[in-house]
């Protein structure tokens, strides 16, 4: 450290739109480029240390024990016998263990049920041994004594709650339906989904005195610290979480999970580092699922296809006492016009693993069903599906009259249709046994900003250091923060270092809800803008008259290398961005359009996607490559949702039947054809000073509908119960 260190703060609350478009004026040329991830070489060469890879000496391994029944109370277990097995150090169970992972931004421990079982697969005990193999076998040898309790394992008999605050109504939907020229009134079902990130949930806990260091795989460290501390009954200041690399999250790692609490508890008791990694089966059985949904959708339209009413009534499921409910109809209020509306939401209570965030909670399934219904409306009205949607784009948010911050759905529809060749699609096309069909759908996702802090240091050598507890869950955070800082301060990317995933660093919003780039990037922007002001001040000019490029500051009559400004030590600014009035003054959302070509096999009912395109508008695109990758990933999720992914439960006892990746079918390479992605030029001044919006989830929001709609076009079978596996197509195919 240098004596002359100079630290200050800068803060922005987004109360006003920012249409200065600063990143269009800066000249470093980093922003928006498809810059490679700085962490890429580490990842592809195995040097990036994921949670279970940074192993301290003397580490022991714990394996969690699964509850075998959906309801009951554990009264004892054969710990004495198991402790005698080879290598076993101890057996833990009881009140520290979580019932389920914390929901996103919970900021406190989830239920710790002290041996009460709420679902099959609930981790109820931990066996720690010297080696993984010993621990795994010993965990298998655990015999639980359980007093059975009633459990609801069949959705058909589950009780239904109808929360008052989740119902809304405008106008008279029934009248609109009876007056309408065209209507749709159908029920759609989507299956439960699992994120199943490539890196399973993993933690290594190590205590030093009363201080815990936990290497984990989590998305939102500032909340995770509090959740973990609360679960362990210690002060948050004694909990330090490291998550420099996270191998996928998709919502499943928003909150602290079983492995972290179990590892920390065991490490504290044993006085040694303990690692706990969930098996793939445990990931599927004990981390967050996306609830299955039943969605009753009603659409009313006049003779021109202009919508006069929308009804969207959804039923989801959840464990008892959990408040999260898949917000299925979150975007229904603003996507299309129609003055008569009814939004309903019901929750069935069931003894299954906790329902929580899985990539784009709400829109992922809600827009998918709505967009199948829109295709049905296009079909009955005879209006082209793209045109139908364009006719129904509202001027303002129809639910509350708010203006949109920026709205590029029409542009995305046009761009997508043009790129895909929508107008040239051929009806009744075949390719051997394959019936070819085309479908499209709109995309939308709400846009958010969360309080975020980041520290940016201009070092004495002119290099930059960016520090925040923000995570990179494979999304490209290292890349975009490098780009934002380098762009703002005129520093080449290889002179910018970004440190992430350490809870001792300034607290970011975390990765989730597509808000990570805007929020953490916003705080870096704010800090950088303050640094620019300091440089301008030193040069005696206004900040806007300052040009920074390749480590050189230039004004009208002066040039200076950046190190000239840090002769007395580095400059550090901690930047803060807060959400403000712009979040509520305008309806903020991202939009897009999907286009798919599928083949349906006329013999077997197998569906394969042949090509798929997405056009998206998400404000300024910070990194063209990582943003595109997000969209490709979202569209791939969409293929899975449409065709293969389904959590299957045995309704007799409630257990998850397909608890591995052999039988929970995520799309494999051969299921994913060449996908193409375009971005529609957009700047959203209401979002943040970068005019960028969230892109991490938009690619899944409605994607599956384009495939389902293409299946209908191909073979005339309208699948309303996803996924569209062959057994649902077969009955509609011609006899053989």
Partner 1 sequence: MKQFDYIRASANSDVTRTPDATIIAGGTNLLDLMKLEVMTPDKLVDISRLDLKQITPTRDGGLRIGALVTNSDLAADMTVREDYAALSSALLAGASGQLRNKATTGGNLLQRTRCYYFYDTDQPCNKREPGSGCGAMEGANRLHAILGVTDKCIASHPSDMAVAMQMLGAEIEIEGTDGASRTVPLSEFYLIPTDPAVETVLQSGELITAVTLPAPAEGNQTYRKVRDRASYAFAMASVAARIEVSEGKITQAAIACGGIGSMPWRDPAVEEALVGQEPSATLFSKAADILVADAAPKDGNAFKVPLARRTLIATLKELTGVQQ
> Which positions are catalytic?
697
Where in 73-132 is the site for partner 1 (CB under 8 A)? 86, 120
Q: Does 154 bind partner 1 (CB under 8 A)?
A: no
Closest to 125 in 3D by CA, of 60, 77, 69: 77
Q: Does 5 bind partner 1 (CB under 8 A)?
A: no
Q: Does 659 bind partner 1 (CB under 8 A)?
A: yes
The residue (of 25 and 198) whose beta carbon lies closer to partner 1 is 198
Closest to 489 in 3D by CA, of 536, 432, 444, 420: 536
Least distance in angstroms from the C-beta of 729 to partner 1 = 10
Report whether 686 contacts 695 (CB < 8 A): no
Q: Does 185 bind partner 1 (CB under 8 A)?
A: no
- Angle of helix 516-539 relative to helix 477-489, nearest 10 degrees, comes to 20
Q: Does 610 bind partner 1 (CB under 8 A)?
A: no
Least distance in angstroms from the C-beta of 140 to partner 1 = 5
Spell out a b/e string for 490-526, using b for 16 or more CB atoms within 10 Å of the CB, else e.
bbbbebbbbbbbbbebbbbbbbbbbbbbbbbbbbbbb
Q: Does 660 bind partner 1 (CB under 8 A)?
A: yes
Alpha helices in 159-247 (DSSP H): 173-179, 221-232
End-to-end CA distance of the chain: 79
| Other CB atoms within 10 A of residue 537 CB | 13
Residue whose tokens read 């695109």: 621
Q: Does 578 bind partner 1 (CB under 8 A)?
A: no
Least distance in angstroms from the C-beta of 63 to partner 1 = 11
The residue (of 400 and 660) whose beta carbon lies closer to partner 1 is 660
Stretch that binds partner 1, among 136-144, 402-410, 586-594, 676-684 (CB under 8 A): 136-144
Which one of residues 137, 240, 337, 534 is an interface residue with partner 1 (CB under 8 A)? 137
Least distance in angstroms from the C-beta of 652 to partner 1 = 6
Where in 431-450 is the site for partner 1 (CB under 8 A)? 433
Cα separation, 507 vs 500, whole angstroms = 10
Which one of residues 136, 189, 499, 625 is an interface residue with partner 1 (CB under 8 A)? 136
Q: Does 652 bind partner 1 (CB under 8 A)?
A: yes
Cα separation, 247 vs 715, whole angstroms = 39
Least distance in angstroms from the C-beta of 80 to partner 1 = 20
Where in 664-703 is the site for partner 1 (CB under 8 A)? 665, 667-671
Region at 569 (left for phi over 0; alpha for psi -120 to 50; beta for the rest): left
Which one of residues 1, 25, 198, 736 is an interface residue with partner 1 (CB under 8 A)? 736
**Token representation of residue 294:** 């039943």
The residue (of 632 and 730) whose beta carbon lies closer to partner 1 is 730
Which one of residues 321, 545, 663, 716 is an interface residue with partner 1 (CB under 8 A)? 663
Cα separation, 423 vs 201, whole angstroms = 46
Q: Does 189 bind partner 1 (CB under 8 A)?
A: no
Q: Does 650 bind partner 1 (CB under 8 A)?
A: yes
Based on its alpha-carbon atoms, the radius of gyration of the chain, rounded to whole angstroms, reads 27
Secondary structure of 32-87 in HEC code, one letter for each residue: ECCCCCCCHHHHHCCCCCCCCCCCCCCCEEEEEEECCCCCEEEEEECHHHHHCCCC
The residue (of 323 and 674) whose beta carbon lies closer to partner 1 is 674
Closest to 328 in 3D by CA, of 190, 511, 514, 513: 190
| Other CB atoms within 10 A of residue 1 CB | 6
Residues in binding contact with partner 1, number by CB under 8 A: 38
Which one of residues 22, 37, 66, 408 is an interface residue with partner 1 (CB under 8 A)? 66
Stretch that binds partner 1, among 135-143, 384-392, 498-506, 527-535 (CB under 8 A): 135-143
Closest to 443 in 3D by CA, of 593, 617, 327, 332: 593
Least distance in angstroms from the C-beta of 660 to partner 1 = 8
Q: Does 606 bind partner 1 (CB under 8 A)?
A: yes
Stretch that binds partner 1, among 180-188, 204-212, 323-331, 643-651 (CB under 8 A): 643-651
Report whether 330 contacts 347 (CB < 8 A): no
Cα separation, 75 vs 80, whole angstroms = 15
The residue (of 423 and 662) whose beta carbon lies closer to partner 1 is 662
Which one of residues 47, 140, 418, 559 is an interface residue with partner 1 (CB under 8 A)? 140
Binding site for partner 1 (CB under 8 A): 66, 68, 86, 120, 133, 136-137, 140, 433, 603-606, 608, 643-644, 648, 650, 652, 655, 657-660, 662-663, 665, 667-671, 725-727, 730-731, 736
């Amino acid at each position: 450290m240098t004596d002359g260190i100079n630290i200050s703060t800068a803060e922005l609350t987004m109360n006003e739109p920012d249409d200065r478009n600063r990143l269009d004026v800066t000249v470093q040329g980093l922003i928006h480029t498809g810059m490679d991830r700085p962490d890429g070489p580490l990842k592809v060469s195995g040097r990036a240390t994921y949670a279970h890879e940074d192993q301290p000496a003397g580490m022991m391994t714990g394996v969690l024990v699964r509850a075998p029944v959906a309801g009951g109370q554990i009264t004892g277990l054969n710990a004495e016998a198991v402790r005698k097995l080879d290598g076993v150090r101890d057996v833990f169970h009881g009140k520290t263990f979580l019932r389920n992972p914390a929901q996103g931004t919970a900021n406190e421990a989830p239920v710790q049920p002290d041996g009460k079982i709420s679902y099959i697969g609930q981790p109820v005990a931990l066996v720690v041994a010297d080696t993984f193999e010993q621990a795994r076998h010993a965990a298998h040898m655990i015999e639980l004594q359980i007093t059975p309790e009633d459990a609801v394992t069949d959705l058909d008999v589950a009780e239904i709650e109808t929360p008052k605050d989740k119902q809304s109504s405008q106008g008279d939907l029934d009248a609109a339906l009876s007056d309408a020229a065209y209507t749709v009134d159908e029920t759609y079902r989507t299956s439960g989904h699992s994120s199943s990130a490539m890196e399973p949930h993993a933690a290594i806990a190590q205590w030093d005195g009363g201080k815990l260091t936990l290497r984990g795989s989590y998305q939102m460290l500032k909340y995770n610290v509090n959740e973990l501390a609360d679960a362990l009954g210690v002060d948050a200041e004694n909990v330090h979480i490291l998550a420099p690399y996270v191998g996928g999250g998709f919502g499943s790692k928003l909150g602290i999970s079983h492995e972290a609490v179990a590892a920390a508890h065991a490490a504290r008791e044993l006085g040694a580092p303990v690692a706990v990694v969930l098996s793939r089966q445990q990931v599927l059985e004990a981390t967050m699922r996306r609830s299955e949904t039943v969605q009753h959708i009603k659409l009313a339209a006049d003779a021109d296809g202009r919508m006069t009413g929308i009804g969207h009534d959804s039923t989801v499921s959840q464990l008892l006492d959990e408040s999260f409910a898949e917000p299925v109809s979150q975007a229904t209020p603003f996507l299309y016009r129609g003055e008569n509306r009814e939004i309903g939401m019901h929750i069935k209570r069931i003894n299954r693993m906790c329902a929580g965030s899985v990539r784009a909670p709400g829109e992922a399934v809600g827009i998918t069903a709505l967009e199948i219904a829109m295709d049905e409306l296009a079909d009955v009205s005879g209006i082209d599906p793209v045109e139908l949607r364009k006719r129904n784009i509202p001027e303002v948010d129809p639910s509350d009259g708010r203006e949109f911050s920026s709205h590029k759905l029409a542009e995305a529809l046009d761009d997508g249709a043009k790129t895909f060749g929508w107008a040239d699609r051929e009806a009744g096309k075949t390719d051997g046994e394959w019936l070819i069909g085309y479908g499209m759908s709109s995309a939308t996702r709400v846009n958010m900003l969360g309080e975020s802090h980041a520290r940016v240091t201009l070092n004495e050598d002119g290099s930059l250091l960016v520090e925040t507890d923000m995570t990179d869950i494979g999304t490209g955070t290292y890349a975009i923060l490098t780009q934002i800082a380098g762009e703002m301060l005129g520093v080449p990317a290889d002179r910018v270092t970004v440190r992430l995933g350490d809870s001792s660093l300034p607290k970011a919003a975390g990765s989730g809800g597509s808000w990570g780039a805007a929020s953490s990037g916003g705080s870096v922007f704010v800090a950088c803008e303050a640094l620019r002001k300091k440089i301008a001040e030193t040069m005696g000019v206004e900040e806007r008259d300052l040009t920074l490029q390749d480590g050189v500051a230039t004004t009208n009559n002066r040039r200076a290398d950046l190190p000239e400004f840090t002769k007395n030590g580095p400059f550090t600014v901690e930047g803060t961005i807060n959400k403000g009035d712009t979040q509520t003054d305008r309806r903020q959302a991202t939009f897009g359009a999907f286009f798919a070509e599928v083949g349906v096999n006329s013999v077997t009912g197998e569906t394969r996607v042949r090509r798929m395109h997405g056009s998206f508008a998400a404000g300024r695109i910070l990194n063209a490559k990582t943003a595109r990758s997000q969209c490709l990933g979202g569209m791939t999720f969409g293929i899975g949702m449409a065709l293969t992914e389904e959590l299957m439960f045995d309704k007799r006892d409630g257990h998850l039947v397909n608890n591995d990746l052999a039988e929970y079918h995520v799309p494999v390479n051969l299921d994913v054809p060449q996908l193409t992605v375009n971005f529609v030029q957009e700047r959203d001044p209401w979002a943040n000073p970068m005019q960028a919006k969230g892109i991490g989830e938009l690619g899944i929001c409605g994607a599956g509908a384009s495939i389902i709609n293409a299946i209908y076009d191909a073979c005339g079978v309208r699948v309303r119960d996803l996924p569209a596996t062959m057994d649902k197509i077969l009955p509609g195919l011609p006899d053989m």
